[in-house]
Amino acid sequence: MTDNRLEEKIAHLERTLDELSTTVARQDRAIDQLTRRVEMLMEREAQREVEASAGVVLGDEPPPHY
């Protein structure tokens, strides 16, 4: 293999590595954002369950005539 061909391969590999690095960084940011959103939704749902347990649960109770 010639020196020129090796340099081309190295340049291609470096470009591919840079693209992959950019993709991984973008995905890491997206995962962090989604993780924060899921945590927020879990906290919101937990709060909703606490509030619901303090009141009357209409959906799970049978009608009064039973």
**pLDDT tens column, 24-48:** 999 999 999 999 999 999 999 999 9
Check whether 4 has a pLDDT greater than 70.
yes
CA distance linking residue 12 with residue 8, whole number of Å: 6
CA distance linking residue 59 with residue 66, whole number of Å: 15
Cα dist. 37→16, 31, 34 in Å?
Answer: 31, 10, 5
Confidence of residue 54 (pLDDT cuts 50, 70, 90): confident
Q: According to the model, what pLDDT value does residue 57 have?
A: 53
HSE-up of residue 6 (Cα within 13 Å, Cβ side): 3
Mean of pLDDT over the chain: 90
Rg (CA), the chain: 28
